[in-house]
Amino acid sequence: MLYVLSGFLVGLVVGLTGVGGGSLMTPILVLLFGIHPATAVGTDLLYAAATKSVGTAVHGFNGTVLWRMTGLLALGSAPTALAMIYLLDLFGSSGARVSELITTILGCALLLTAAAMLLRRRIQAYAASRTGRLDPRMRAALTILTGVVLGVFVSLSSVGAGALGVTALILLYPEVPTPQIVGSDIAHAVPLTLVAGLGHWLIGSVNFGTLGVLLTGSIPGIIIGSFLAPRLPDYWLRSLLAIVLAIVGARLVIA
């Protein structure tokens, strides 16, 4: 029941804010349930692939996915994720040093996510002032590089595809409306989390029993959160979530 409740609460937060899947689920699995960090990451990656596939279908239907942007991100992230999984397997995903590394990267990713959420409006204002200054070829190269960075963070911590990806795209594409930025980022998260999640499965770091129970709780949570989202102040919800992520991130880094 605790797994179902955790899935429900995380689904509720994602429905309310659009952020928090990997940022909350992986720390919960590690800190609350004592699951090995590599297994927690692998399980959460497939959890994210399943839930974000639905989001991609909705955004695609609404025309809020820029597929070229998504493709450039995936061009950098998918091969990087495979490389990270290979390194995890090479050094032993269940080892103590790998566990410590993943925990530290997870904590740093949470702190960066919290900062990105708190500074979102300032970043949008700064990006708007620089509209049209980036050379198209340079922007394409930076988009691929962003995918590489996300591939590292997501494959090792399951965090970063949401808030960090959106923040980077806002800076690179200030003229693109926010719904298309969000839709493109969600669409990119599907191949990234699927590739990384399947990689974790191949090296034995996915718990499918836990995955199924979490999805049982998260689906109704996402539905309720999506229903309540228009009725609650988004800024305060995101600020509260950012504070929680900063506290959890600091706990993981210090530990």
Per-residue pLDDT tens over the stretch 186-229: 889 889 999 999 998 998 888 999 889 988 888 888 778 767 76
For residue 131, the tally of other CB atoms under 10 A from its CB is 11
Q: Locate 101 and state its tokens.
A: 């590394």
pLDDT tier, 247 (very low <50, low <70, confident <90, very high otherwise): confident
Contact 117, 241 (CB under 8 A): yes
Q: Locate 113 and state its tokens.
A: 């996510």
User: SS3 for 177?
Assistant: coil
Contact 41, 156 (CB under 8 A): yes
pLDDT in tens, 150-173: 999 888 888 877 778 888 888 899
Q: Report the pLDDT value the prediction gives residue 230, as an integer from 0 to 100.
A: 61
Q: Locate 132 and state its tokens.
A: 């049209």
The residues, ordered by sequence, that sit 6+ positions from 122 with a Cβ below 8 Å of its Cβ are none
pLDDT tier, 95 (very low <50, low <70, confident <90, very high otherwise): low
pLDDT tier, 61 (very low <50, low <70, confident <90, very high otherwise): confident
Q: Report the pLDDT value the prediction gives residue 83, as an integer from 0 to 100.
A: 94
Query: Which pTM value belongs to this model?
Result: 0.82
Q: Report the pLDDT value the prediction gives residue 94, as an integer from 0 to 100.
A: 63
Report whether pLDDT(56) > 90.
Answer: no
Chain-centroid distance, C-alpha 192: 10
Q: Please count the helices (runs of H) and the strands (runs of E) in the chain.
A: 11, 0
Report whether pLDDT(129) > 70.
Answer: yes
For the chain, give the percent of residues with pLDDT over 70. Answer: 91
**What is the phi/psi pair of residue 130, to 5°?**
-115, 15
E strand spans, the chain? none
